Structure 1
Amino acid sequence: MTTENPNLPNDPREAAAYWFARVHSGNFTVAERERFKQWRRASPGNEQEYRALDEIWQATNLLPEDALRELLEAPEPPAELRRMARRRWLMGAGSVCTATVAGGVLIYGQMLEAPTHVTRYATAHGEQRTELLPDGSVIEMNVSTELVVRYYTKRRSVELLNGEANFEVTTSPDQPFVVDAGAVDVRVTGTVFSVRREQDHVSVAVQAGSVEVTSGRWWNREKARLTAGMTTQAQLGLPLSVEQADVAALTAWRQGKVVFRDQPLEDMVREMNRYLARPIHLTDSRLKRLRMAGVFTIQDADGFLQALQSNLPIAVVRRPDGGADLSLLR
């Protein structure tokens, strides 16, 4: 056990089951998320055990409700109950696999196979980068993004831990490409799409081809199929919302731009601050109600501030650290 989390079992398998239940419980806190990341990075065995559970869940999407509820509703179960719940969970997952693929034991073994390729990528605040994957697929990462790429014999997997990325996937019908963004999965064989994850909120936008988005709790998963020009917003506890949208505008960061269409100033400043080395601050709550449209270079703070002053009743005060304070003109 650890002093930071006295409920965490010593055994990596039991700890993985504990964290899996907490991640998908619907009340996973920010502090828990940080401890969870530290636990996964502390040992290769921890990462392997957690991925084993996660890959089974991705493969089945159908799990016994009673066993899952037992895990979710017991944030501090005794050790014996955790072991029993985990065994029932694995047995239930195996039986579901058997219903779709001959031999549950065989499928379980496939889910535990070691990946043929594993790479972790990350970008810092204000940093963007492009990575070429082994099969020719391309990932364009936006600022403050972290993801892990894992290739297996029969599937390609990207775990988007946080941030935003655009995926240009090489077609491979026998090796589906899945983006795991927490409670949301995006599955394709070959297409161009982007995924943005901010804590429990995930948005998906498709530029070409089609994707299948799956969201929701284990026993009540919801699916939506998106084609070019469509987006969806997914948040735990809320239904998927699918609509037509200007995907080029949503992914303008790939060209170093950001597009606003009659959006609140608060949202505009929050988005620009993702890219700026020195943040912009709103000093008056009344500024939040102001709205504006425009296209801006993502790291051009001066151009953005000049446009605000030209179109809105705003005063700009420069900070010694290079940032700026916005206030309402008297």
Structure 2
Amino acid sequence: MNNKDVTEFVIDCLTDTSNKDKQAALNQWLRESEDNRLLYAELKQLWEAAAAVPPVPFDSEQGWNELLLVIAADTPVKRMFPWKTVAAAVLLLLLGTGIWWWQTTAVRWTTYIAHTADRDSLSLPDGSLVYLKPGTSLKYKQPFSDRTVVLLSGEAYFDVMKAAEHIFLVQAGDATVRVLGTAFNVRIEQNRTEVIVFEGKISLQQNGQNLVLSSGDGNKGTADAASGEILHPQGDYSNQCVWATDDLLFENEEAVHVAKVIADYYKIPALKIPENLKHKRITLHLHNTPAEQAMEILATVLDE
């Protein structure tokens, strides 16, 4: 029997367990070889898993043709049937109902490298957005059902699409960031991974340790692969990722500090603040504000 005939024979026997002739033929076939017994176990497992699959109309002839192409492309092995390849393709044959369901689960990795001079952006298959600093690289699986991204190098800001039943994972070195839906920044540098949360809550994990971070003060965590420790430095890191958010927020900050952050963000020479105003406390919020307008707003706040 060829691959198709064998599979149909086994599925037919699984479908009609009350037929003594079919069961006798199945038992005889199972006694013939170890390969037959292994094949039967794999097909039975797939058959039982099919019970949870909703009926989907399928062109059986086309499905077999595509499956046989996958089998033909597999490297020849000692076994008569490359059934591990078949199982990887998840072939569920619901012959009893006349419905066949076949889904390819072959996984491929997509690698993305930011080449722009300023910042780059990437939309993931689930709708999540990623902003990347120049030279940053990451990869993710296709299909994106497990919502896992591997940060290979650099720094990336994630704005994750909420999906209550699907965790979003970012793997960076030995550290893993787990979220449901939030906005956070991840930077990997040598043996250290740094995470800053801007919205929602995340879990930073490494070597069995777990640190939960929320937006606000103390929203930064670092995982050191060399020491194996997760650190939780305290401070205000609200403006550390303005390169991605274009959102500058200062609450009761000294003018000299505000001026420095603004100059760094707009890549302009250091702003000169009068000596008597350097320690003046100001509150200021700039979002997607042009540089010239930002300077005018800062001057107005200083004169108040």
TM normalised by structure 2 equals 0.45
Bigger relative contact order (CA 8 A; separation at least 6) = 1
Question: Under a length normalisation based on structure 1, what TM-score does the superposition of the two structures give?
Answer: 0.42
Larger radius of gyration: 2
